[in-house]
Structure 1
């Protein structure tokens, strides 16, 4: 069994105590985010990024509370000015960047409604960027909530794993099996680890993600669960595009996968944006699969692309009872991610202290 550190009961895993990661569409208590602050990290696009962030935060806050981390006085003042009147709670926390899906906690819950969190090591996608402050965010969140925290000695980013809430997890080999994350940890080792920590009883693998994705191919940029038995996956129709072959292999693999009880998943194809976007470090990885599901809503990134409307048309009927909202992410994508990458849901539940 993987080694875990926990001051209250180091021998007890989340699974031992009945905890598992809920699906994103389960009811939220709040959404956690971080405010963009470094113009260099955004290649001179900080003003536009902040404008799009403000639209995203305001939209989410109109449905559920938002906890916003701000790293300094300037960031706090800027966020408060842009978000005046929104349901936002501010937290002064040292930060490197904004990708809270990856450096934030992953919450777990058990049937009685008790909520705790897992704290994974974050090394900025294999040491690609500075990450010392961001790696401490889960510890802050746990202390603020008074929640039980499992501090785990393994690297794992939230954007690298999808769960369906019925025991199935989905990830990519190109991300999890890199030697810059957990060298020597095999597919079988991950299956044991994620069963013990997040309640994943069946871990399914795709080969890879989008071209020039600095996360090494996070699953949340290409393929997502929208309910227990339905998967949306990105496809590229242009056979000359480098993404075409990878997405086609993923599609074939998904069609052969089944739920825990052996039923095939319903697979829905979602086109990638038609236009190739170039950033400061080469081709950008825009995708509509990086949507975020919240209480009564889904926010879908838009890029001023011919496929924007089609993506909304495909996703809307998959979320009955939720408002599917398209918001601009043309500036945010300059940093390499979009709405799912910058959010982390806190599921509804009673915070459990471990006592």
Structure 2
């Protein structure tokens, strides 16, 4: 086969799955991890931003211990501020690249690119999904929507934009979880929400997932956790640890608001069968104590961890369940260092380390 064109935009009728491209699991080796430096009050107020930055910088340092970190910086001032803070914190700047890519907010998991690979052809490409800030909740989001194309140009990679008659298909990276063997997990509360792709049916959404992520099976849970303004992203509830093992958030306290939702997810997971007919192995991951700020229950979850080449970076929340969660996750990812970083101030922005990052796989 002839190689893909490296002129960035592929035609709208290009279907990645038909050309052997797929989204690999997060444990697949990375070229880098992408972030978007926080610079506005969209997620953290001027009072909160200085409180979250030390943990955010620790996060960057932890990623850079085993791979490159690429950071979208809104403008030259933000770039200089980021470089100064990272340098003062002792970060290895040879492993960090700051790029002049304007952004509205910091949640790169959702506005960043979906990198696909084709090992047989030794090629990579990007899916440029549409982005509308979780159903138009937090305008403006026009700059974030342009990030995948900007990164495609920077990497000299072709990209395709899934289109319908109504415009680009809306999809967020935190709403999908992959096992690397043809299966994606997602939630109806998010992907079937009328604030994303109201004109598409569940069957339509499944077709786009299969065509543009290169999967053959879509498994659905119903809901997310309380306080999650994304309408139920899967990366707060269920994560693959291997082709047939999931780590699933679990709440034992029947009086907790999350109890019925997480019980239902566990029931759904037990009914699922993979493409080979195998049942999922389920590892129960405890939930942290509730974190409430200004009367709002925050979406704190240990499941919002990031897998890097050498580690798993796990949010912790200053409670007794922290060590149990770290130990359980460590058992699921042998050979990787388990790095716990206090995310109490980060989660005030309604997300944590997985939400903030998007991995770039190697071929």
TM > 0.5: yes
**TM-superposition CA deviations, 1:97-128 (whole Å, max 9, x none):** 10000001101111223110100010000000
Q: Deviations over 1:327-347 (max 9, x none)?
A: 111111000000000010100
SS at match of 2:35: strand
Using a 3 Å threshold, how does the CA distance of structure 1 residues 76 and 9 change in structure 2: closer, same or farther? Answer: closer
Q: How does 1:284-323 map to 2 (within 5 A)?
A: 284-323=298-337
Work out whether 1:57 is the aligned partner of 2:67. no
Change over 3 Å in CA distance of 1:262–1:239 after alignment to 2 = same
1:138 aligns with 2:140: no
Matched, 1:219 2:227: no
Q: Is the 8 A contact 2:43 2:350 kept in 1?
A: no
1:78-227 alignment runs, 5 A limit: 78-84=81-87, 85-86=92-93, 87-112=95-120, 113-130=122-139, 131-152=141-162, 153-227=168-242
> Quick one: distance in 2 between partners of 1:280 and 1:63?
37
State how far apart, in whole Å, the 1-side matches of 2:261 and 2:42 are: 32
| RMSD of aligned residue pairs (Cα, Å) | 1.3
User: C-alpha deviations, 1:30-75, integer Å up to 9, x for none?
Assistant: 0100111124631321002111111000110111000011113332
1:42–1:335 CA contact under 8 A, matched in 2: yes
Summarize deviations over 1:222-267 as a string: whole Å, max 9, x none.
Answer: 1100111100100111111111001001001101111111011110
Distance in 2 between residues matched to 1:20 and 1:30, nearest whole Å: 18
Distance 1:246 1:8, change over 3 A: closer
How big is the shift at 1:292?
0.3
Separation (CA, whole Å) in 1 of partners of 2:133 and 2:275: 33
Q: Which stretch shifts more, 286-295 or 67-76?
A: 67-76
Structure 1, unaligned stretches of length 5 or more? 1-5, 350-355
1:107-160 Cα deviation digits (max 9, x unpaired): 111122311010001000000002111111001000001101011210000000
User: Which has the higher mean CA deviation after the structures are superposed, 156-165 or 232-241?
Assistant: 232-241
In structure 2, the CA distance between the partners of 1:38 and 1:326, relative to structure 1 (3 Å rule), is same
Q: Is the 8 A contact 1:19 1:108 kept in 2?
A: yes
Matches of 2:57 and 2:282 in 1, distance apart?
A: 33
- Matched residue count: 343
2: CA distance between counterparts of 1:280 and 1:79? 29
User: d(CA) in 1 for partners of 2:296 and 2:142?
Assistant: 26
SS of alignment partner, residue 120 of structure 1: coil
1:30 to 8, 29, 32: 32
Structure 2 CA distance, aligned partners of 1:58 and 1:7?
A: 33
TM-score of the pair, normalised by structure 2: 0.92
Greater share of residues in helix: 2
